[in-house]
Each structure stands twice: as C-alpha cells, then as structure tokens.
Chains A and B, each alone.
Chain A
Amino acid sequence: ETGVTQSPTHLIKTRGQQVTLRCSSQSGHNTVSWYQQALGQGPQFIFQYYREEENGRGNFPPRFSGLQFPNYSSELNVNALELDDSALYLCASSLGRGLGENIQYFGAGTRLSVL
C-alpha cells in the first residue's frame, strides 16, 4: 500500500454539476499531483501542488481547480461537469518535486461518471 487515500471511490454526477474529490498524501510527502485517466489511456497530468501552491498545470481548462492544505492533503474541484469528464481520477503524492523526489505514489482513484 502507498499510504495515499482517495475519497470517494465512486461518484455519479449529472452534466453541469460540480464535484470535489479528496486525497490524503503519504506521510512526509509535500507534493501532490492529480491525473485524469480515461478508459484504456495513460494518466493525463492535470496539475501539481507543492507546499500549498499550484506548481504546474497540464492542458486542462480553468474549471479544473485544486487546493492543497497545510497537512498536504488535497482537493480536486471540477465545475460545470461535461460527459467527457467521466474517468478515473488519480491522486499521487511524492516526497518533493526534484530529481530523486518525484516518484509518484498513487491512490486507488475515484471513478467519476457524468450522466
């Protein structure tokens, strides 16, 4: 086990709604990254938070936003849900951002279905 926990495990929403996904990092990790994994594809980088600041962002629109808290837990918020947002959302924590520290430890993910 990686020590990274995500909640909820499954979620069903309708188009236009908003959703918040949560992640608890592994102890001692100050960096968290969020990924979207569509069926049969590789994880797509959404963004990364380092010490409560957004540190990098992939090609996702602003309706995907996040937070990292002082205890390094994190949230992913998605507004105005679209059908294409249906996917497995993975949170990964790492020791840090730099070389030797950026190994990604993944949680089990949240399966989001948008109807």
Chain B
Amino acid sequence: GQQVMQIPQYQHVQEGEDFTTYCNSSTTLSNIQWYKQRPGGHPVFLIQLVKSGEVKKQKRLTFQFGEAKKNSSLHITATQTTDVGTYFCAGPLYNFNKFYFGSGTKLNVKP
C-alpha cells in the first residue's frame, strides 16, 4: 500500500546549524504539504507544493517538490530553538480520497 517515508527519523543540531529532512512516497502525489508539530501539540500547516520541481521559500525554510512528484525536501538554514518539533510531509492521492502523512523527522536544537 501507499507509504510515505521520511529520513532521518531524528536530527539533533546545534543552534545555527542547517537541517534537512527528506520525504519519499511510494506513489505519485497530486501535491505535497508540510506540517510542523511542536511537542505536545498538533500538526500545523506550513506550505503546499503543487508543481513538479517546485521550490518555495519561507524565511529560513526552503521546500522542494521532486520532478516525479514522489519526493520532497525541507531545508532549514541557521536553525533556532523555535524550530524544535517534528516535521511531517503529507499529501493526497490523485483522487483526493486518502491523505497520507510521512513518518516525520523530529528536530532538536541545542542552544
């Protein structure tokens, strides 16, 4: 069945270092979304990518959608302690009747 995997599972960085998480789907996604879940919280929407090869930036965050629409990445430049949390990629199948979340990458930032 459909699987959305993310690597790494955990990442510990020193504040100021960069961070990247990679997302891979076993099937093509119509679009991909990224969410952040703070410890004890619920997932919060960050961004949506729709087009093959699309790149979007939000301040220190850069999101990419792969050419085959089966993989994506999130890169954070110069991490801050406020970046702590688990980052999930997610997306629906083309008929929009199922929504899959990745396994998540848990980011810890040491001050």
Which A residues are within 8 Å of any B CB, using their own CB? 2, 33, 35, 41-45, 48, 55-59, 90, 92, 97-100, 102-109
Contact = CB atoms under 8 A, between A and B. Distances in A.
Given A41-B104, A44-B101, A105 B45 contact: yes
B48 A103 contact: yes
Contacts of B22: none
A43 B45 contact: no
A35 to B, nearest CB: 7
B97 interface: yes
B96 A107 contact: no
Report which residue of A44, A57, A104 has the largest number of chain B beta carbons within 10 angstroms of its beta carbon: A104
Interface residues of B, number: 27
B63 interface: no
14 contacts: A42-B6, A42-B88, A45-B98, A59-B1, A97-B92, A98-B96, A100-B50, A102-B96, A103-B48, A104-B35, A104-B43, A105-B45, A108-B41, A109-B42
A41 B3 CA distance: 13
Contacts, number: 67
A39 B18 CA distance: 26
Contacts of B90: 43, 104
A57 B31 CA distance: 19
A103 B33 contact: yes
Given A43-B43, A57-B98, 18 more contacts: A2-B44, A42-B4, A42-B88, A42-B101, A45-B99, A48-B97, A55-B97, A56-B96, A59-B1, A97-B97, A99-B30, A99-B50, A102-B96, A102-B99, A103-B33, A103-B45, A104-B35, A109-B42
Contacts of B99: 33, 45, 48, 56, 102, 104
Nearest to A102: B92
A59 B33 CA distance: 21
A37 B48 CA distance: 22
Interface in B7-27: none
Interface in B28-86: 30-31, 33, 35, 41-45, 48, 50
